[in-house]
Amino acid sequence: MTEPALRQSAPQPPPARSRRALLAGSVGNFVEWYEFGVYGYFATVIAANFFTPEGGSDVEALVKTYASFALAFFFRPIGAVLFGRLGDRIGRRPTLIVVIGLMTLATTLIGLLPTYATAGAAAPWLLTLLRILQGLSAGGEFGGAVSLLTEFAPPGRRGLYGSWQSFTVALGLLGGAGAAAVLATVLSDAALNEWGWRIPFLLTLPLGLVALWLRLRLEETPSFRRAEAEGAATPPPSRGEVARAIVLGAGRIMGWAAAGYTFLVVLPSYLQSTLGASFREALVATVLANLGFAASIIPAGLLSDRFGRRTVMLSGAVLVVMLALPLIDLLQDTGASAAAKGGAVLVAGAVVGLMAGPGPAMLAEMFPTRVRCTGLGVAYALSNAVFSGCAGLVITELVKRTGDADIPAYYAAGACAVSALALLTLRGDDHRRPLR
* pLDDT of 421: 96
Residue 5 falls inside a structural domain: no
How many domains does the chain divide into?
1
Residue 10 falls inside a structural domain: no
Residue 350 falls inside a structural domain: yes
Q: pTM of the predicted model, to two decimals?
A: 0.83
* pLDDT of 183: 87
Using one digit for the tens of pLDDT, what is the confidence trace for 217-228?
A: 888 988 888 888
Residue 8 falls inside a structural domain: no
Instruction: Identify the helix (H) or strand (E) that includes residue 312.
Output: helix 309-332
The whole-angstrom separation of Cα 174 and Cα 166 is: 12
* Burial zone of 235 (CB within 10 Å; 0-12 exposed, 13-18 middle, 19+ buried): exposed
Using one digit for the tens of pLDDT, what is the confidence trace for 21-41?
A: 888 888 888 887 787 778 767
* pLDDT of 4: 42
Residue 221 falls inside a structural domain: yes
Using one digit for the tens of pLDDT, what is the confidence trace for 177-189?
A: 788 878 888 988 8
Residue 3 falls inside a structural domain: no
The whole-angstrom separation of Cα 120 and Cα 43 is: 19
* pLDDT of 11: 54
* pLDDT of 53: 60
Tally the residues of the chain. 436
The whole-angstrom separation of Cα 298 and Cα 304 is: 10
The one-character DSSP state at 157 is: -
Regions of the chain short of the pLDDT cut 50? 2-10, 55
* Residue type at 29 in one-letter notation: N
Residue 319 falls inside a structural domain: yes
Residue 90 falls inside a structural domain: yes
CB 24 within 8 A of CB 217: yes
* Burial zone of 231 (CB within 10 Å; 0-12 exposed, 13-18 middle, 19+ buried): exposed
Tally the C-alpha atoms within 13 A of residue 225's C-alpha that lie toward its C-beta.
Answer: 12
Can you give the residue range of the structural domain that contains 181?
15-227+237-432
Residue 417 belongs to a domain with what CATH number? 1.20.1250.20
First to last CA, the chain: 10
CA separation (Å) from 200 to 34, 107, 192, 264, 368? 9, 9, 11, 18, 38
